[in-house]
Homo-oligomer: A and B are copies of this chain.
């Protein structure tokens, strides 16, 4: 491996001078600088990132913690993070936790001690004392797609608004009996989506009918199962608001299996706007999250935090969803 000393020797100067010539922070005579640069070229010298990091107490690396890269939500998010980080001179270490708290903790602990300058965490747990601890210790952290009250900086979506607009749209188109297929109530994002649903109905003078509120576990399969249950029950809705595209797709499959048409008999709206959602037939109307931009913003916030030594109070940035109209409504 070629070190700074090799360069120094070839250029006929000391290691310190090489360091100064390269960094440019401290003035070096033009002539010596040229000699150094030439030696650098000649030897293809690249400074050892480890030594540099050790000395400077900084690695220009950030850790990105996500539950599952296989979930279609995350690739755009990761892309936004990665791209923005790269453009600012940061490298990102991707950590996939499999939604396993132990793995998450291990990752955080392992990297905290100077492999990484800060974290972006996108694992959607509600209570996370270990993250609060990190924040308290002064480790730079930004949450993504989740928040821990106002205790930690975060970039989240206005879930309430997304749901409110989706349901309002259905109501405006004359739909009355609107079912909701929702997710785990422990997650605030699903509670908020439910609130949006509820408020939109209330505003229109409708009431929430309990039989049309379907709580679901996860994914396409369950969307299907739950929708089948509803159709069997005799309660025939004229629209479905699914809090996830996957649930919407499952619901559509069930509706078709029962011989009904989408959107003529039952309109369906999803949530997330997974990329492939526009390849389906009917193309899915859905609430779109600006995932790429959210990833981008999270990095920008994190960099600000890392640069600012003196801690300021956390800010929660709330991004706006967009209702994307397609053929399922």
Contact = CB atoms under 8 A, between A and B. Distances in A.
Interface of A: 1, 46-51, 53-54, 59, 61, 68-70, 72, 74-76, 78-79, 82-83, 86, 91-96, 98, 103, 109-115, 220, 249, 253, 256, 274-276, 279-281
B93 A93 contact: yes
Contacts of A220: 279
Contacts of A69: 69, 75, 78-79, 82
Contacts of A111: 49, 91
A61 B68 CA distance: 20
Residue among A91, A95, A103 with the highest chain B CB neighbour number at 10 A: A91
Contacts of A78: 69, 94, 96
Nearest to A89: B110
Contacts of A49: 110-111, 113-115
B94 A46 contact: no
Contacts of A95: 82, 91
3 closest A-B pairs by CB: A94-B94, A46-B113, A276-B276
Contact of A110 (B46, B70, B93): B46
Contacts of A59: 50
A114 B3 CA distance: 12
9 contacts: A48-B114, A54-B54, A68-B79, A78-B96, A86-B103, A91-B95, A91-B110, A220-B279, A256-B281
Contacts of A50: 50, 53-54, 59, 114-115
B51 A79 contact: no
A78 B50 CA distance: 25
Contacts of A82: 69, 94-96
A69 B70 CA distance: 10
Nearest to A54: B50
Residue of A78, A96, A111, A275 with highest tally of chain B CB at under 10 A: A96
